[in-house]
Chain A
Amino acid sequence: MLQKKICMLGSFSVGKTSLVRRFVESIFSEAYQTSIGVKVDKKVVRVNDEDVALVLWDIHGEDVYQKIRMSYLRGMSGYLLVIDGTRRQTLDDALALNERVIQEAGKVPAILVFNKSDLVDKWEIDSTRESELIAAGWNIVRTSAKTGDSVEDVFSKLAAAMLI
């Protein structure tokens, strides 16, 4: 079966682990439990009538305490760059991280995930900024690990992009 490595990237507390848990196990926990290190999960999805095993690398969020090792990106076919819509800074940090990722891994399919869409009333990123990013070539998907909204969709979209 075809295997594809996907990395979950972004600042701490943006919901990377929650997205993976929602996608793989269909569960969500309100309590924030910070990730240390890497967890690897697998899920088989069907793309264009073909089974594809997605190997999901849930990499700890980057902050002053933990930096992401670029060696974790080796063999990556695509990545989800996750931000927390309620924290504007996570977008700036994600875009900075993205530059390093491209430098290390080259250009591979990526989706900018605006997570926590269930808290859209508290978002700090307005539609103008979102439009600018789309104009800059970003594929943006709004998700909620809490409600499950667009979670399957974002992984499917990335899987499809990786198979082109």
Chain B
Amino acid sequence: MAPNSIFESFLVSQGYALFESLGHGEFLAVGDCPSWCRDILDLTSPTGKPIALAAKSPFLENFLVDADDFWNSKTEGAANSGNWAERDKNGREVPLEAFALSLDNKKILILQNLSAHFAEQQQWFQTARDSLLAHEQLLSEIQKKEILLHCIVHDLSQPLTAITGCFNLLRLEKVPPVVEKYVEAGLRESQRQESMIRGILSAFSGDLMAQQASGHSGGAVPDLSVCARQAVEEFSSAFKDKDVRLRFAPPPHDSADWRIAGDAPRLDRIFGNLLENTLRYSLPKSTVTIGLEDQGGYILAFVDDEGPGLPKDLPTNQLFALFSKGKSHSGKAGLGLYFCKITVERWGGTIGAETRAQGGSRFWFRLPRANAKLRDSEPAHASAEKRSVPSQPSASTSGPPPQVSRIGRALKHLRVLVTEDTEINRELIGELLTKRGHSVSAVSDGLEALAAFEREPFDVILMDQEMPNMNGLDATRAIRKLETSTGRHVRIIGLTGNATSEDERRCLNAGMDAFLSKPVRMEKLYEAVESKLQTSSEFDHSQPAPVPLDPATTKEAVAEDESVVAHLHRATGGNQKLQRTLVKSFLQDAPKTLSLIRRAIAKKNAQKLASAAHALKGSISIFGAAKAVAIARELEAMGRSGHLFDAGPQFRALESEFQRIKPELQAISSVSSGNPKPKRKTKPKSRRAR
């Protein structure tokens, strides 16, 4: 069939294959069918004979349904098939694209051979996708490192509890004035160390979790209306690029006071994160509106869009969870909305999202108004430093050591259960409470705590968060459940080295009455245990500001090459009996824990790996063994992040490290006279007040 128009002639001359539909799935080639087309579609019949194209290619068969729809719709333009590939006679893949269009009332199908430009297109996609893969890999590594760092910070807090406890105990003894001076210096330095750890935690958390340092550390009391307008101004060009209109809807009473209890830089970031999120899901030619509502003591700010709304199967609280990402993720780490949540909640507000009745979604947050006192006393240029003056003397202060009073006996004798997986911390906290006049029982995990609680009454339970077998949160929940039948309420105080507001919230949500961050200070410990009325968080928001690391201090602290014997001697103050007990207990438990780790890795059970590695890390750290601790920490971080690659080699390194220190430990253990009594695991040791 010869071309009937200049356009058809032009296309044929340019190497396109043209077919006219005759109906019923049959086509006639228009002009000379190019050889590549005859080859691919195996067209052996002479030109002019109808061809059943659908039978030649499953892809074409599928597209011809769309083509028919298009031809029957009588619409302008063309329908295209998208790229596909067919093999030629030699088995080479030929990239193709098909178009359906109407020309002079004829139904025309055009096949285009894309070979000429396909390599270039392929290269473009290849580069883009390789970059996406590299980016995914990078994000994954960053998340893994963040979790690792959190574990490190947690570990740094653990021994500090012991150090502070030792100094506190020494302060209760009658010591010569010169020794007292050393003790005070030691205590002061341990407080410095604590400040540094908080500094690391703060830096690690960055803007995410640094809120614990102060309620709102920014300068002026910010005006929500001003911040919202600024956000619109700042983001309008980005929205314009996506053909989305961004507007600020002035509230009905614009003369109202829109100042809130917060700080402007973080408020800007909240608006920024919400707008970035909205922009990702907004459709071209839609409008995004920022607005405010006066709600009495609170102000509501919202960002409304006209996009697809929230995913139906995604709970709202998951939107704001750490590392949560939308389904059509755009490569972000899933931290933006989490930042918004913890910041708003820290300022006493709430945050949420919903699908709007008229379509689209609304992200909103509600913040308390700045109170009158704050508004009047805070000029716009008030500095952050003014508001974050530490209540404790700064560690870098060169004056005399902090004055501490000797602790007398408690007014009332209490029965206290200490639940803590690190033996030395358990011993020291117990000793401090015993000296104060309380009866102390000690157990090493949540299951044992639960058993002890069922066996005997306690006035107070100190509950570590992270423990093997059953963690402190689960144990607290179980105790609270048991209490529903008795109507009793034992005071439970959480202990944790992860001193973030998120940890505090978790403790309180589990049913704890209060929260003490490690390292535990003697005064805080007594205050928490003996304060019957106090039901709010003990979380200390007024820590001294971090100070630069003192090389002279760290030189001694980082004794990586120290032998197990030397470390243990130092940690136990030369108490050989205690050393033997610790070593025997460790040698009994460590192989079992290693076995748990091995099984968890083999079964890809990330949760069990984290739990077992955490347990081993805690027990092995008593003996120094810096390398083994570091490996166990890595394994714990892998478990927490769910990234178990490299877990196998790390485990082998851990086993080898255990074998390396084992002879030293066995030597300590063998010094024992006689056979040791088996260690009691479930029944708590009770020490009555002296």
Contacts and interface: CB of A to CB of B under 8 A. Distances in A.
B58 A64 contact: no
A128 B605 contact: yes
Interface in A92-146: 92-93, 96, 119-128, 130
A39 interface: yes
Given A33-B126, A36-B83, A37-B84, A63 B132 contact: yes
Interface in A17-58: 32-34, 36-40, 55, 57
A127 B129 contact: no
Interface string A64-103: 1110010110110000000000111100110010000000
Contacts of A122: 645-646
B381 interface: no
A75 B62 contact: yes
A39 B122 CA distance: 15
B605 A126 contact: yes
B492 to A, nearest CB: 28
25 contacts: A34-B122, A39-B84, A40-B59, A63-B132, A64-B132, A71-B65, A74-B65, A89-B136, A89-B329, A92-B327, A92-B329, A93-B329, A96-B327, A121-B647, A122-B645, A122-B646, A123-B604, A123-B644, A123-B645, A124-B140, A124-B642, A124-B645, A126-B604, A126-B606, A130-B604
B328 interface: yes
A12 B129 contact: yes
Interface of A: 5, 12-13, 32-34, 36-40, 55, 57, 60-61, 63-66, 69, 71-72, 74-75, 86-89, 92-93, 96, 119-128, 130
A86 B645 contact: yes
Given A39-B85, A40-B59, A127 B603 contact: yes
B643 interface: yes
Given A34-B126, A86-B645, 19 more contacts: A12-B129, A38-B59, A38-B82, A38-B84, A39-B84, A39-B93, A57-B58, A65-B129, A66-B125, A71-B66, A72-B82, A74-B65, A89-B329, A120-B604, A121-B644, A122-B646, A123-B644, A126-B606, A126-B644
Contact of B330 (A64, A88, A121, A130): A64
Contact of A40 (B57, B128, B648): B57
A96 to B, nearest CB: 4
Nearest to B139: A89
A37 B136 contact: no
Nearest to A129: B642
By Cβ-Cβ distance, the 8 closest A-B pairs, closest first, are A37-B83, A122-B645, A96-B327, A38-B84, A126-B606, A127-B604, A37-B84, A126-B604
Contacts of A5: 58
Contacts of B648: 121
B607 interface: yes
B115 interface: no
A83 to B, nearest CB: 13
A88 B129 CA distance: 17
B374 interface: no
A126 B603 CA distance: 8
B121 interface: yes
B175 interface: no
A124 B133 CA distance: 15
A97 B130 CA distance: 21
Contacts of A119: 645
Contacts, number: 103
B174 to A, nearest CB: 56
B69 to A, nearest CB: 10
Contacts of A88: 642
B95 interface: yes
A56 B3 CA distance: 36
Interface string B593-637: 000000000011111000000000000000000000000000000
B121 A36 contact: yes
Given A71-B62, A74-B62, A128-B607, A38 B83 contact: yes
Contacts of A34: 122, 125-126, 129
A18 to B, nearest CB: 15
A96 B328 contact: yes
Contacts of B126: 33-34
Interface in B665-690: none
A93 B132 CA distance: 14
A55 B325 CA distance: 35
Contacts of B121: 36
B85 A121 contact: no
A121 B605 contact: no
A98 to B, nearest CB: 11
Contact of B129 (A13, A39, A74): A13
A36 B122 contact: yes
B134 to A, nearest CB: 11
A36 B93 contact: no
A13 B85 CA distance: 18
Given A121-B645, A127-B603, A37 B95 contact: yes
A26 B410 CA distance: 79
A12 B131 CA distance: 12
A13 B134 CA distance: 12
Contacts of A120: 604
Contact of A65 (B65, B66, B125, B325): B125
Contacts of A92: 325, 327, 329
Contacts of B63: 71
A37 B645 contact: no
A63 B129 contact: yes
A136 B90 CA distance: 46
B98 to A, nearest CB: 11
B328 A72 contact: no
A39 B96 CA distance: 10
Contacts of B140: 124
A103 to B, nearest CB: 12
Which one of B63, B605, B644 has the greatest number of beta carbons of chain A within 10 Å?
B644
Nearest to B609: A126
A151 B684 CA distance: 55
Contacts of A55: 58
Contacts of A32: 130
Nearest to B124: A65
A69 B82 contact: yes
A144 B125 CA distance: 24
